Amino acid sequence: MDTILSINHISHSYHTLKGETPALRDLSFTVHTGEFLAVVGPSGCGKSTLLSLIAGLLTPEEGEILLHGKPVNDQKEKIGYMLQRDELLEWRSIYRNVLLGPEIQKSLTPEIKQRARDLLEAYGLGQFQSSRPSELSGGMRQRAALVRTLILNPELLLLDEPFSALDYQTRLNVSDDIGQIIRREGKTALLVTHDLSEAISLADRILVLSIRPASLKTTVSLHFDFPGQTEDTPLNRRNAPEFKTYFNLIWKELNQHENQPD
């Protein structure tokens, strides 16, 4: 399997007037091309910090982050970053929100415009191209935000709790929906979440982080044995016997705090 991303012994702290907050400590892992990796860990343990480092928005104090074996800082355009809040601009239509990235990159070609229309159509937003974000439901907004990330054709998608602002039922539907879209597009994805069920229903592998400063507690590869014609979908996973086993296993890991903070 090809390695797309290597995280090698990274440590990072925030320095403020109040002092130093160590966020990550000696964290290492790799991500394979095409893999859907979920990262779970307690609230405040350093998950968002990890994504900001991978996206090149922060530079690690120690260690290195390599994309295809080279420093990530020179290849930020290969990474798409989707946040918890969808950050859609209210004064732009959905179509023009999707085109914001290409506009900023000055790559607004007729092909890109067509791709925007095709993606919006494919993901159920064809009728809403000229709507404003406030006219869409939370789930549709999240899909529009995903299309805006996909339009730049990133190789690696970073998703920071993208469903947590949605109510429970919408979250189930939208996370299943977006999980399938990402698989269909053949992207490598790194999903940060504090929702263990969401991670188990979507990922190929789960990294479990410790309490802050985050280090790697364990990684769990997920395998589901579906009978006959049953497809490997998030909903079918939730009903499979393996689901509970993985849940209990990872739950235990998450709640075992051998190293107390600082």
- Residue closer to Mg ion (CB basis): 94 or 190: 190
CA distances from 89 to 95, 97, 102, 221 (A): 11, 7, 15, 38
Q: Which does 22 bind (CB under 5 to 8 A by kind): Mg ion, ligand ADP, none?
A: none
Which residues between 205 and 224 bind Mg ion (CB under 5 A)? none
Least distance from C-beta 161 to Mg ion, angstroms? Answer: 6
Output the smallest distance, CB 212 to ligand ADP, in A: 6
Report, in Å, the least distance between residue 198 CB and Mg ion: 14
**Partner interacting with residue 203 (select from Mg ion, ligand ADP, none; CB below 5-8 Å by kind):** none
Q: Which CB sits closer to Mg ion, 47 or 115?
A: 47
Mark 32-71 with x for binding to Mg ion (rule: CB under 5 A) and - for no binding: ---------------xx-----------------------
Residues forming the site for ligand ADP (CB under 6 A) = 14, 16, 21, 23, 41, 43-49, 212
Place of tokens 């999903």: 191
Burial class (CB in 10 A: 0-12, 13-18, 19+), 231: exposed
Instruction: Give the C-alpha separation, 163 to 172, whole Å.
Output: 9
**CB-nearer residue toward ligand ADP: 25 or 212:** 212
Rounded Cα distance between 98 and 129, Å, is 9
Q: Is 45 exposed, middle or buried (CB count within 10 Å of its CB: 0-12, 13-18, 19+)?
A: buried
Quick check: 88 and 97 in contact, CB under 8 A?
yes
* Nearest approach, Cβ of residue 92 and ligand ADP (Å): 28
Long-range CB contact pairs, 54-60, < 8 A, 24+ = 54/5, 54/7, 54/79, 54/156, 54/158, 54/190, 55/79, 55/81, 55/158, 58/12, 60/10, 60/11, 60/12, 60/24
Residue closer to Mg ion by CB (options 83, 122) is 83
Start-to-end CA distance of the chain, whole Å, equals 37
Report residue 230 as tokens.
């049953």
Nearer to Mg ion, 47 or 237 (CB): 47
Q: Which of residues 114-143 bind Mg ion (CB under 5 A)?
A: none
Smallest separation, CB 40 to ligand ADP (Å): 10
Q: What is the DSSP letter of 232?
A: -
Q: Which is nearer to Mg ion, 23 or 144 (CB)?
A: 23
Residue 44 site contact among Mg ion, ligand ADP, none (CB < 5 to 8 Å, cut-off depends on kind): ligand ADP
Question: Which parts of this chain interact with Mg ion (CB under 5 A)?
Answer: 47-48
